[in-house]
Amino acid sequence: MSRVLVVGAGFAGAVYARELAEAGYEVEVIDKRSHIAGNCYDYVHSSGVRIHHYGPHLFHTSNMRVVEWLNTFTDWVPYDHCVVARLPDGRLVPAPVNLDTVNAVFGTQLETPQEVADFLSTRVIARDPITSAEDHLYSKIGPDLTDLFFRPYTQKMWELDLSEVDASVVQRLQIRTDRENRYFPSDTFQAMPKDGYTKIFERIFDHSKISVRLNTEFSASMLADYDACFNSMPIDEFFGYEFGELPYRSIRFHLTEVPKADAPEHVVINYTDTSPYTRETWWHRIPAHLVSDTGTVLRTVEEPCDYKDNHLERYYPVKTSDGRFEKIYKLYQEKAAANDRLVFIGRCGTYQYLDMHQVINQSLTHVGKWIQDHR
């Protein structure tokens, strides 16, 4: 077996392609888009600012295997991501919720984590069992903070009430009782690629056994030309939606050029209001993103929507508390397992939200095993 097809030039496809090429396989990568890097694609805009075309991608992990693998393809600039939320009265407070957020919202003067914990315990409504996002948040922080920071956001993001969203969606979010204001405090490695993400992909694909064809959509007739196919396309689309559709949320990105002097000092500002928009990003504030200073910078405002209202751009798999889409995914997964020359990979191939470090780690593990099994 020597010739393989990789569908998708995002991180899943790139890791598979590189590892298979290193193991001696001839690899052809196709992507229907006109660029490599999948949803991590970035470029330097004419304003001189590097932007991420599909929304801000912050690299953070505690998995040093992933960092070591990437070190071959990039240098890094240190960056600890911090976010603020704009309250209805215009004040900006740390997000996720921490000690300072609690004091700002309730007008308290709490000083220690214990005082915050004691205060929040007077606001919570205990729920048992914890099934929905609302159960989790009401039990942890109570309705006041939940309804300010999570309910409008969830409605915009998922078009669902918190009571309909699976608890796991919010369980990974931090609620801090101290003054920690970093967005990913538990990750030991946080940094941005010095030359951007797209450069990483150029270097990954720069291998004598890898060829990349862009503007090329997968079609089933291609399979006959290859000994195996690693496919990051949506699994329901591959099977013609036979068991039903796997829905996704998407985001419309609204880009504006702004005089640098008018820009705030924050990278990301979350909105707590009921407008259709969730947050804004100021790219030049991220290290290595003000590539040349023209006096003009960029703001991106995000507007969540159904993927059918955004050219079928699939970003976030929809997880409901009743697990109905997981069940549909399992049917596709079982059907796919019957073909040992076809492996579904990545976010849309496996219908799960994966951060970059997770998709790289998962892909390294699975492709390593596949190579072992096919020696």
Ligand X SMILES: Cc1cc2nc3c(=O)[nH]c(=O)nc-3n(C[C@H](O)[C@H](O)[C@H](O)COP(=O)(O)OP(=O)(O)OC[C@H]3O[C@@H](n4cnc5c(N)ncnc54)[C@H](O)[C@@H]3O)c2cc1C
Residues that bind ligand X (CB under 6 A): 7-13, 30-33, 38-40, 54-59, 217-218, 232-233, 251, 315, 346-347, 354-357, 359
Q: Is the peptide bond before 152 cis (omega within 30 degrees of 0)?
A: no
Distance of closest approach, residue 165 Cβ to ligand X, in angstroms = 18
Closest CB to ligand X among residues 138, 153: 153
Closest CB to ligand X among residues 49, 99: 49
Distance of closest approach, residue 212 Cβ to ligand X, in angstroms = 11
Burial of residue 26 (number of CB atoms within 10 Å: 0-12, 13-18, 19+): middle
CB atoms within 10 A of CB 322: 12
Distance of closest approach, residue 178 Cβ to ligand X, in angstroms = 23
Distance of closest approach, residue 251 Cβ to ligand X, in angstroms = 5
Closest CB to ligand X among residues 227, 313: 313
- Where does residue 182 fall: left (phi above 0), alpha (psi -120 to 50 degrees), or beta otherwise? beta
Distance of closest approach, residue 347 Cβ to ligand X, in angstroms = 4
Continuous segment of H or E residues that includes residue 359: helix 356-373
Closest CB to ligand X among residues 91, 213: 213
User: Of 313, 270, 306, which Cα lies nearest the Cα of 160?
Assistant: 306
Buried b vs exposed e over 183-220: b needs ≥16 C-beta within 10 Å? bbeebebbbbbebbbbebbebbbeeebbebeeeeebee
Tell me the HSE value of 238 on the side-chain side, using a 13 A CA sphere.
Answer: 27
28 DSSP β-pair partners: 5, 211
Closest CB to ligand X among residues 105, 157: 157
Distance of closest approach, residue 146 Cβ to ligand X, in angstroms = 23
Pairing of strands 83-86, 268-271: parallel
Distance of closest approach, residue 52 Cβ to ligand X, in angstroms = 8
Closest CB to ligand X among residues 48, 304: 304
Task: Write the single-letter amino acid at 345.
Answer: I
Q: d(Cα 184, Cα 181) in Å, to the nearest integer?
A: 9
**Placement of tokens 């796919």 in the chain:** 336
Closest CB to ligand X among residues 146, 250: 250
Distance of closest approach, residue 268 Cβ to ligand X, in angstroms = 10
Q: d(Cα 340, Cα 368) in Å, to the nearest integer?
A: 16
Pairing of strands 342-344, 228-231: parallel
Closest CB to ligand X among residues 217, 273: 217
